[in-house]
Amino acid sequence: MQVQVLRGENQIGSSIVKIVSGTTRLILDVGSEIESTHTPKVPRIEGLFRGEAGYDAVLISHHFLDHAGLIPYVVPQIPIYMSRRTYEFYRYTAEYQRMNVLREPILFEDQEQDENGHYTFVIGDIRVTPILCSDYGFDAWMFLLESGGERILYTGGLCNDSREISEDLLGSIPQADTLVVEGTMLSRPFSGLGSERMVEQKLEELMQPLPPVFLIASSTNVRRFESFAEAASRSSRTLLVDVYQAGILSEGVRELMNEKQHPEIRVFLSGSRGREQTDIQRFSHQQIDKDMIPFKHIAMCVRPSRVMEQYLSELNAVHPLSGSVLIVSMWRGFREQKDVKRFLEHCEKMGMRIEYVHTAGTLDLAVLKAVAKKSGAEKIIPVHAYEPEKLAALLR
């Protein structure tokens, strides 16, 4: 089998990897660029995004946009494989943002299982085995590809919540001849906190003083919202999420949106869009009106948008936000997006103090070396990274 990185080489994000065997052509992930906002740049790849279908299937490792953002642009005749939960995430986000919703994919969970309990199926002359792995966004998969006695392991969304190598993580790594591995953390020095637990501790520390706290994170980073909820609960604060975030959480961690299990989580309307007015009915028992918000004891999750800017301005007119804290919990690349920069400037003008609290679940060098050793791969191909040749040498 041959591996070609169509996109994701010498850059962070936008992973598109091509696998070619004797009779079969597969694509692993179709990620959009991290810098993309509303309309992603679609590469002119013949047979994948334009022209007649030139591939037998597309496999999606997880729902983050840098791996799945170009799904709507795949040639319609190409089958797309993903997990049920990844599809639920994708469908909800697409419908909410009024995007084209993916036609029904082929789900991993509908395939047969091997002796280890892994789903497995054959496409052409390649056997595909998705392997569920740890990820701070939930429901991420690796792919083991086998053909003609050769094995390729694509780590996909393999991530780790701490800087330590867990036995569960290493135990999920199969033997392979070639390892295609995400090298995000190899491309830059580590910055931020070392584990999700450390994030929770820092959040709790910032939530202890009385002023209101506002929080920004990717709405699909469900693990981070769990940390928000834990820190808010221990700080006796009410955690407020908007309708879209509540919908995402109900797909990802359903117990978080269970009123009996988490009475501290409430849902607010940030605007008057028809979809919000409809979806709020799902959370009617947790809805809180603006005039009922316990202002000094809140941890409010906000999203960078014109609508949220207006909402905060109206809130500021009643309860001055000067002296409150805005916690930004996202990778610095996202902070450079136009909408995010404008939103942060708007908050600063209202006197909000900005704190950055983040850790990436992507694997660092020590963990990646252990993964490479466990796989036994002779050939290593980094993606989602700068200087891939140098990084491949580090892992050998």
DSSP for 17-41? EEEE-SS-EEEE--PPBTT--SSPP
Query: What does DSSP assign to residue 280?
Result: G
- Please indicate, yes or no, whether residues 152 and 216 belong to a single structural domain of this protein: no
Kindly give, in sequence order, each residue whose CB lies less than 8 Å from that of residue 390, ignoring residues fewer than 6 positions away.
none
- Please indicate, yes or no, whether residues 269 and 184 belong to a single structural domain of this protein: no
- Please indicate, yes or no, whether residues 140 and 251 belong to a single structural domain of this protein: no
- Please indicate, yes or no, whether residues 43 and 161 belong to a single structural domain of this protein: yes
Give the residue among 285, 151, 288, 301 at the shortest CA–CA distance from 214: 301
The whole-model pTM stands at 0.85
Instruction: Decide: 118 and 273 in contact? Cβ < 8 Å.
Output: no
- Please indicate, yes or no, whether residues 163 and 213 belong to a single structural domain of this protein: no
CATH number at 153 reads: 3.60.15.10
Tell me, what's the pLDDT at 273?
Answer: 62
- Per-residue tokens: 104: 């029904």
- Please indicate, yes or no, whether residues 248 and 229 belong to a single structural domain of this protein: yes
Tell me, what's the pLDDT at 285?
Answer: 87
Quote the number of domains for the chain.
2
- The residue segments making up the domain with residue 13 are 2-188+362-395
- Please indicate, yes or no, whether residues 348 and 373 belong to a single structural domain of this protein: no
Tell me, what's the pLDDT at 146?
Answer: 98
For 310-346, how does the pLDDT look when each residue is reduced to its tens digit (9 = 90+)?
Answer: 999 999 999 999 999 999 998 776 777 888 999 999 9
Query: Going by DSSP bridges, is the β-strand pair 119-123/126-133 parallel, antiparallel, or unpaired?
Result: antiparallel
CATH number at 207 reads: 3.40.50.10710
Cα–Cα distance for residue pair 14/24, rounded to 1 Å:
23
- Please indicate, yes or no, whether residues 86 and 214 belong to a single structural domain of this protein: no
Cα–Cα distance for residue pair 385/390, rounded to 1 Å:
10
- Please indicate, yes or no, whether residues 33 and 55 belong to a single structural domain of this protein: yes
- Please indicate, yes or no, whether residues 148 and 262 belong to a single structural domain of this protein: no
Which mean pLDDT values do the consecutive 10-residue runs of the chain (396 residues) have?
81 81 96 69 93 97 85 94 90 75 87 93 98 69 96 84 61 91 59 69 89 90 87 93 89 75 88 72 87 88 92 92 93 79 95 88 71 90 65 59
- Please indicate, yes or no, whether residues 165 and 202 belong to a single structural domain of this protein: no
Q: How many CB atoms lie within 10 A of CB 184?
A: 22
Query: Distance of alpha carbon 351 from its chain centroid, rounded?
Result: 30
- The secondary structure element, H or E, covering residue 146 is strand 140-147
Tell me, what's the pLDDT at 88?
Answer: 86
Helices (H) then strands (E): counts for the chain: 12, 19
- Please indicate, yes or no, whether residues 71 and 179 belong to a single structural domain of this protein: yes
Instruction: Decide: 369 and 68 in contact? Cβ < 8 Å.
Output: no
Give the residue among 295, 264, 248, 305 at the shortest CA–CA distance from 37: 305
- Per-residue tokens: 259: 């009123």
Cα–Cα distance for residue pair 258/160, rounded to 1 Å:
26
